């Protein structure tokens, strides 16, 4: 089976979903491909900052997402020895310190607004296996498999929005430079105790960052930095002393932690790295989001930067025909912004311990 569209977007994550909506709204025919059988199955960030919120608000999408469930953070607290010693409250004009948006809610909220366009098609369980070029070497389509069938999608522009391990980037032979940051991350999710206020809580445990993020739906996400590459050795050690550090730091979580984190298997390991590409695309093809600039979880910038990529790219495609689109111009605009964000992340990572100096003294 063959398909044809003005734009083929590979990856139905936040940037791919938003770009699909914005381009379809402008009248371009769009086919969105997602290799998973359902939306929101791949791990991605779930916290909107002020910039990400502004993008969704400007396109009248935040209301649709909020109807499905979001949670605004009311405060940021720094903890030591079982108590908060410093609290940061939001600017009254903004009213929150970030918004937790479950990924499934974000994607569903955006795409349910996109389904109204007859020239938009979303194909799930569809894995791209090959890029198609014309005689001049311009990319003009993709080959994919869907439910055991090989399909072809011909398009004027291919968008690689397929994440940190991007198939489109690899198939286009675009090199990426990977940078380690000296730590990996253990994730765990537990039910929030009754009366738990929407907040972000930070602690320093053996010189490593330990963070709690309240989530919509009555949960808390735990993010625990560990030494880079140390998890295989760490999980050979006794589990109880390790988890006791968590309950000593946040005593109010002792009961829910005891019931829901009982072994190393209750943690999910995230290999932390950032990456960048010197080339963001070529004739007929462009990359955005994690496919071209993977970020660490620090500051939850990745999701918001990906949304801004999509917003910028959609604006440029509206000003010119696809044939006139200049990927180098897009790269120049967004690359400068991304470099600033990455520098901000590194500064936050390196200075995190300084937040606890007043308490220690």
Tell me how far apart the alpha carbons of residues 46 and 350 are, in angstroms, rounded to a whole number. Answer: 23
Q: Model confidence over 93-103: pLDDT tens digits? A: 888 999 999 99
Is residue 183's pLDDT more than 90?
yes
Averaged pLDDT, 4-10: 97
Cα 193 to Cα 186: distance, rounded to the nearest angstrom: 21
pLDDT digits (tens, 9 = 90+) for 67-109: 999 999 999 999 998 999 999 999 888 889 999 999 999 999 9
| pLDDT for residue 209 | 97
Q: Please tell me whether residue 103 adopts helix, strand or coil conformation.
A: helix
* pLDDT tens per residue, range 184-218: 999 999 999 999 999 999 999 999 999 999 999 99
Counted residue by residue, the chain has a size of: 361
Mean of pLDDT over the chain: 95
Candidates 286, 292, 274; CA nearest to 342 is 274
For residue 361, is pLDDT > 60? no
| Residues 128, 305: Cα–Cα separation, whole Å | 24
Q: Which of 34-38, 128-132, 319-323 has the least mean pLDDT?
A: 319-323
Q: By C-alpha distance, which of 225, 262, 221, 269 is closest to 240?
A: 262
The residue-averaged pLDDT of 230-251 equals 96
Using CB atoms within 10 A of its CB, is residue 232 exposed (0-12), middle (13-18) or buried (19+)?
A: exposed
**% residues pLDDT > 90 (the chain):** 92
**291-332 tens-digit pLDDT:** 999 999 998 899 999 999 999 999 999 878 898 899 999 999
Mean pLDDT of 1-17: 96
Q: What is the pLDDT of residue 27?
A: 95
- pLDDT value for 319: 79
Mean pLDDT, rounded, for 128-150: 96
Per-residue b/e over 132-154, b at no fewer than 16 CB within 10 Å? Answer: beeeeeebbbbebeeeeeebebe
CB 54 within 8 A of CB 143: no
**pLDDT value for 360:** 59
């Amino acid at each position: 089976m063959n398909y044809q569209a003005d734009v083929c977007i590979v990856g139905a994550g936040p940037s791919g979903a938003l770009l699909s909506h914005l381009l379809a709204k402008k009248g371009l025919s769009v086919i969105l491909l997602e290799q998973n059988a359902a939306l929101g199955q791949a791990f991605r960030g779930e916290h909107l900052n002020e910039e990400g919120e502004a993008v969704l608000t400007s396109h009248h999408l935040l209301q649709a997402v909020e109807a499905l469930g979001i949670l605004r953070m009311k405060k940021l607290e720094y903890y030591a020895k079982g108590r908060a010693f410093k609290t940061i409250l939001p600017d009254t004009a903004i009213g929150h310190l970030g918004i937790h948006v479950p990924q499934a809610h974000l994607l569903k909220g955006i795409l349910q607004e996109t389904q109204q366009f007859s020239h938009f098609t979303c194909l799930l369980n569809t894995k791209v296996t090959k890029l198609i070029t014309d005689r001049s070497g311009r990319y003009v389509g993709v080959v994919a498999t869907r439910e055991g069938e090989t399909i072809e999608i011909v398009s004027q522009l291919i968008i690689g929005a397929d994440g940190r391990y991007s198939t489109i980037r690899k198939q286009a032979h675009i090199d990426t430079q990977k940078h380690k940051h000296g730590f990996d991350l253990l994730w765990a999710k537990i039910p929030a105790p009754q009366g738990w206020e929407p907040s972000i809580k930070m602690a320093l445990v053996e010189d490593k960052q330990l963070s709690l993020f309240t989530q919509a739906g009555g949960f808390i996400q735990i993010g625990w930095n560990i030494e880079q590459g140390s998890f295989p050795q760490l999980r050979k050690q006794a589990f109880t002393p390790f988890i006791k550090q968590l309950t000593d730091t946040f005593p109010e979580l002792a009961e829910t932690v005891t019931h829901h984190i009982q072994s190393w298997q209750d943690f999910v390991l995230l290999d932390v790295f950032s990456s960048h590409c010197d080339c963001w695309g070529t004739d007929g093809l462009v990359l955005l989001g994690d496919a071209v600039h993977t970020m660490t979880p620090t500051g939850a910038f990745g999701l918001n930067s990906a949304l801004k990529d999509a917003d910028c790219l959609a604006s440029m495609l509206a000003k010119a025909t696809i044939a006139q689109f200049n990927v180098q111009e897009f790269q120049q605009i967004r690359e400068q912004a991304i470099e600033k964000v990455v520098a901000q992340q590194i500064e936050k990572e390196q200075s995190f311990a300084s937040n606890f100096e007043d308490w220690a003294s």
